Chains A and B, each alone.
Chain A
Amino acid sequence: MTRYTTIFRASLCFLLLTGLWSACKKNDFQDIDLADHSAEFAFPLFTTELFLKDLLGQVLNDSLSNDTLVVNPDGTMTLFYTGDVAEKKATDIFTFFQNGFFPLTDSITTTVLQLPIGVTIKRADLNSGTLGFILTNQFGETLNGRFEVPQLTKNGEILTFPFSVPPTTGQAWVSGPIDLTGYTLNGSSNELTFIYYAYLADGTRVKILPNTSSGLSNVFVTFLNLKFSYFEGNFGYAAYPLTRDTIDIDINQTNLDGNVTVKNPKITIRIANSWGFPTRGIVRYLSFIGQNGEEYKLETTAFAQDSIIDFNYPALNEVGQTKYTDVYLDNTNSNIAQIFNSQPTKLVYDMGGISNALQTPDLVGFLTDSSNISLQIKVELDLEGSVQNFGSNQTLDLDFGDYSSLDTTKIQDAEFKLVTENSTAISALLQLYFLDTDSVRIDSLFANGPQLLLRSAPIGADGKADGTTRTEHFIPMTAARFDRIRQAKQAFLQTSFTTGENGQVVKLIANDKAIVKMGLKVRTK
C-alpha cells in the first residue's frame, strides 16, 4: 500500500508543482500531505500457478520414497513407486567349508570335502585363507622333503611346500601359514589329495608312520578361514528355505484419511537373481497387511501352479550379472486392485527355493561371494482414480517484506480476496496457519476452519477436467489481526484433496493447473 499511495501522492505533488512551482517556494510544499481521511486502497498481492504434475509430485513425495512421476504423451501421469528390497545372499544358504584338520595316514592321502547337498565342485577360487602342515619326525635325523596338494594351483603351478624337519624331541614341527589367496581348487569329485615327499640324509624316501602308542597320524594338514570368491560346479536338485521377509509400502503416511482409490494399480514383484544356476521359487505365503494389521491375501493366477516362480539366472559366461524375473499383478490376474485400494502398508512373504528343479543332468552353474537373490515391489499407478481428503502438509517460509513495517495505526481494516481458478479435477480444502519465528501458530487464514479453496473443474465423460472453476473467498481482517499476521515468518499449509466434488474417479492430467491469487483492500482512517 505504501508504494501505491506513493504513486498517487507523487502524482499529487506533480500536479501541484505544475501549478505552484513558481509561485511558491519549494519549502512551502515539501511537507504537504493529504489530510487524514478514510480511503480505500486495493492492490494485488500475489499470483501463483500450480501445475498438477508439480502438486502431485510434492504430495506423493511427502508420502513415498523412490518414486518417479512420468508424464505420458497424452498428458496422463503414471507414478512408479519402488519399494524396499529384501535380499538373500547365496552364502547365507550355500555354506562351504572354511576350516579343516586332516590327518595324513599315508604319503598320499585323499579326503572328501563337505559341500552343500547336490553340489559337486569343479572349480573354486580362493580369495583368502591359509593352509598349514604339522609333522612329527621320529627318525632321529633331519627329514627333508615337500608337501603337495595337486588340486590347488596358482598360475598353473600346483601348491608345493618344501620342508626340513629336525628330529622331534617335544612339540611337533608346524609349518607357517601358507597363504592360499589366488589359488584355485580344481576337481570333479569333491575330493582333495595331499602328498608329502620325505627323505633321510642318505636320500632314502620314507613314510611317516602313526604314533605307535596312540595310533594317531604324525602328519596333519590344516585349513584356516578359507573364503571362495567363485564357485563352479554341478548343482543338482535340492530344496532349501529361500527367504521370509517383510517389505514396507509407504503410501499415504499422513495422518489424514486418504481413501485413495486407483482405478487399475499395477504391481510388479521383481526378483533379481545373480545365482548362476536355475532356481525355482516356491511362494509359500504372500499377503499384504493393512493399516490396522488386517491381512489381504493375494489371489492371483500369475504364479505357475499357484506358487511357482522360476527365476531367470546368469549363464556361466555372465558371471557378475543379475537377471530379473518380473511377476505382474493387475486387475486381470489378481485381486491386487482391491488390495491396493485398501491402502496396504506391508507385504509379507515366505518363499522356498529349489535348485535345478528340472533335474538337468550335469548342470554346471556358479556362485560368487556376492551372488544374491532379492525381491522388490514396484508399483505403477496410472493416475486415474479417486481420493477423498487425501492429506498433505507443507511449511513455507514467509516474508511480508515492506508490509511487515507498514504503519498500521492508520489502517482501519483490511480484506483479503483469495481467488482460485481451477482447471484440475481436484478439489482442495485448505487451512493456512501463520507461524512466528519459533514456529508457533499465531493465527490462521480462515477463522472458521478450513475452506474449500479449490473447487474441482467440471469433469468430462472421459474423466478429465473440462473447464475452469473460479472460487472467491473474502477474508475480512481487523487492523490488529492484520498487524499480527504480517509478522509471520512461516506458513503452514494443511490441505486435503478430493477428486471432483466428492471423490469421483478422474484422470489427472499433468498440465492441468490451478491459479491461486490474492489481492488486498485496505481501508485507512
Chain B
Amino acid sequence: MHLHHKIGLFCLLFASQLSAQQELMLQTLPDLWHATSINPAFFPENKRFVIGLPAYSLDASHSGDITYNDLLRKEGDQNVIDFGQVIDKLDPENTLYFDQRIETVSLGLRLPGNWSIQAGHANRLTGLAVYPKSLAEVLWNGNGPYIGEKVDFGFQARVFDWNEWSVGLAKHFNKVSVSARLKYLTGVTSLITDNDHHKATIYTDPDIYQLQIETDYGFHSSSLISAIDTSDLGFKVDIADLKGKAFSKNTGVSVDLGAQVRVNEKLTLSISVLDWGGKIKWKENANYFRSNGSFTYEGVTFPGADIINGSDSLDFDQKLDTLNDIFQFQKSAQEFTTKLPERIYIGGTFQLTEKWGLGVSAFAQNSDNRRVGGLGASVRWLPVRWLSLGAMYSVNRRSAANLGFHLVVKPGPVQFYFLSDNLANAFSLKSSPAVNLRTGLSLVF
C-alpha cells in the first residue's frame, strides 16, 4: 500500500496528455489475464486456471505542462511545495485528474461446457480537482500583490475510492465469448464538492488591507473529514483515519459486460461496457459541510472613547478573537450518492504473422458528465513465445501524439507485464508532465 500511495503522490502533481484511465494498450493484449479487468469476456486461450496476483494501474493528468519536480521538492527532511516554477504555466482554470486501480487478487477457472468463472478484489480510486490559478498565486505570493483584486480560491473536487468484490461468468462459444461480471462495491472514503456551491473569494481592500471573504461553498464527505474548525484563529481539518476498509456501510453495485468475437483465425474483435450503472451510496460518516456567507476582517476595533479616556488599552491579543471562525462550516449528516465512471472499450487485433500482430483500440468514458475518449493503433512483436513487445500510437482529447509501448514476459505459467499508453512519461515520473502505466503479475495454468 505504501508504494501505491507514493506513486499516487506522483500522479497528483504532474501532468499528462491523458485525461482518463484509457488503458488502450491493455485492450490489445487479450491474452493477459489482467486484461479481463477491461473486458470480462477475455480469458487466456487454452488456460484452465488463473491466479491473478497484484496489479497496479495508474492514469493521471494535469492541465498545462507541470511536472512533479516543478511543484514538489525536498528541503531537508520536509516536502515543500514550490509554486514558483509552475504559476506561470498554470491556466486560469486547472484540472487535475487521476485514476488508480489496485487489483489485489483474482481467480479464473474454465469450466466444462465452455463456461468460465472469475472472481476478484480490487481497490479503486478516481479523482478530479479543478482549481483556479489565482489560488496558487495567492498561496505563493501572498495577498500583497493582489490588493484591490477579488481572488477566487474556490476549487472543485470529486474524489472517492472503493473496493470492488467481483464475480463473473462467461460463456465461450465457438467464435464468440460473452461475459457478465457483477461487482459489489464498498465505498471507503469520498469528498465531493457541491457543483452548485463552489465559490470562495478573498478581496484585499486597498484601504488598510481589510480582508473580505465570501463563500458559497459546500462539499460532501464520507469517512474523510470529520470536522472543520475555523475557530480559535485556525483552520483545523480533522481527517478521519485513512486506513482502507474492505467493507463498509457505503455500498453499491455495478456491472461489467463484455464480448469477444473471433471473426477468423487472424481477426478478433471485442467490446465491453464497464461499471455500467455503478453507484455507491455513502452512509458511513456521511456529512455535508457548507460555508455560506460574507466575512470581513477589519482588524482590531478599538473603542475610541475608551482608548481616549484610558479605560481601554491597545490590546491586540484580546481583540484578535474577532478573526475566529471565518468560514463557519456547518456540518449536517447527509447521505449522498456517487456514480462510477462508466467506460466502453471497443477493439480488435489482427494477427499478421506468427510473430507480428496489429491492434486497434478505442475507449470512451463518462464520469460525472465529463466525457473523454481515445483511439489507438498498435503493433505487436513476439520474437519468442514468452516475450511480447509492442508499440501504440494513440490520440485523445489532449494530444494527437502519444506513443505507447508494452513489455510482456511469460516464462512458464507466469505472466508479467509493464505497459503504458505514453512511453515518454512512463519512466520519468517526476520530470514528465504525465503518467500512464500498468503493471501486474499472474499465474496461468
| Pairwise interchain contact B235-A39, C-beta atoms closer than 8 A | no
* Chain B interface residues (CB < 8 Å from chain A): 2, 4-9, 11-12, 73, 75, 77-84, 96, 98, 100, 125, 127, 129, 131, 135, 138-145, 147, 153, 155, 157, 159-161, 188-189, 191, 193, 204-205, 207-211, 224-225, 233-237, 239, 242, 297-305, 307-310, 313-320, 323, 326
Interface residues in A367-411 (C-beta closer than 8 Å to B): 394, 396-403
- Please measure, in the bound complex, the distance between the C-alpha atom of A16 and the C-alpha atom of B131, giving whole angstroms: 11
Report B85 CB to chain A, min CB distance, Å: 10
Contacts of A397 in B (CB 8 A): 313-315
Binds B, one of A275-283, A316-324, A475-483, A512-520: A512-520
Partner of B209, one of A12, A55, A417: A417
Query: Quick check: is A462 within 8 A (CB to CB) of the other chain?
Result: no
Partner of A45, one of B9, B188, B224, B299: B299
Contacts of B323 in A (CB 8 A): 3
User: Which bucket holds chain A's interface residue count?
Assistant: 35 or more
Query: Quick check: is A33 within 8 A (CB to CB) of the other chain?
Result: yes
Are A44 and B210 CB-contacts (below 8 A) given A19-B127, A21-B159, A54-B304? yes
Contacts of B138 in A (CB 8 A): 8
Report B149 CB to chain A, min CB distance, Å: 12
Partner of A46, one of B191, B207, B302: B302
Query: Quick check: is A51 within 8 A (CB to CB) of the other chain?
Result: yes
Secondary structure at the A interface, as helix, strand, loop or mixed, is mixed
Query: Quick check: is A134 within 8 A (CB to CB) of the other chain?
Result: no
Binds B, one of A23-31, A169-177, A231-239, A356-364: A23-31
List 8 extra interface pairs beyond A43-B211, A48-B301, A419-B208, CB under 8 A: A12-B139, A36-B75, A39-B142, A41-B142, A49-B304, A396-B314, A419-B207, A520-B209
| Pairwise interchain contact A18-B157, C-beta atoms closer than 8 A | yes
B160 (CB) vs chain A CBs: closest residue: A22
Partner of A23, one of B5, B81, B237: B5
17 A-B interface contacts by CB (under 8 A): A3-B320, A10-B234, A20-B8, A20-B9, A24-B9, A29-B79, A33-B79, A35-B73, A37-B84, A39-B141, A40-B145, A44-B208, A45-B299, A47-B298, A54-B309, A419-B208, A518-B208
| Pairwise interchain contact B159-A32, C-beta atoms closer than 8 A | no
- Please measure, in the bound complex, the distance between the C-alpha atom of A50 and the C-alpha atom of B305, giving whole angstroms: 6
Contacts of B7 in A (CB 8 A): 23
- Please measure, in the bound complex, the distance between the C-alpha atom of A417 and the C-alpha atom of B208, giving whole angstroms: 7
Report B132 CB to chain A, min CB distance, Å: 11
Contacts of A89 in B (CB 8 A): none
Are A17 and B237 CB-contacts (below 8 A) given A42-B204, A48-B301? yes
- Please measure, in the bound complex, the distance between the C-alpha atom of A54 and the C-alpha atom of B304, giving whole angstroms: 8
Are A396 and B129 CB-contacts (below 8 A) given A20-B9, A33-B81? no
Partner of A32, one of B81, B147, B224, B297: B81
> Of A13, A19, A25, A48, which is in contact with the most chain B CB atoms at under 10 Å from its CB?
A19
Partner of B299, one of A21, A47, A396: A47
B125 (CB) vs chain A CBs: closest residue: A22
Query: Quick check: is A331 within 8 A (CB to CB) of the other chain?
Result: no
| Pairwise interchain contact B9-A394, C-beta atoms closer than 8 A | no
A416 (CB) vs chain B CBs: closest residue: B208
Interface residues in A507-525 (C-beta closer than 8 Å to B): 513, 516-521, 523-524
Partner of B155, one of A15, A46, A398, A521: A15
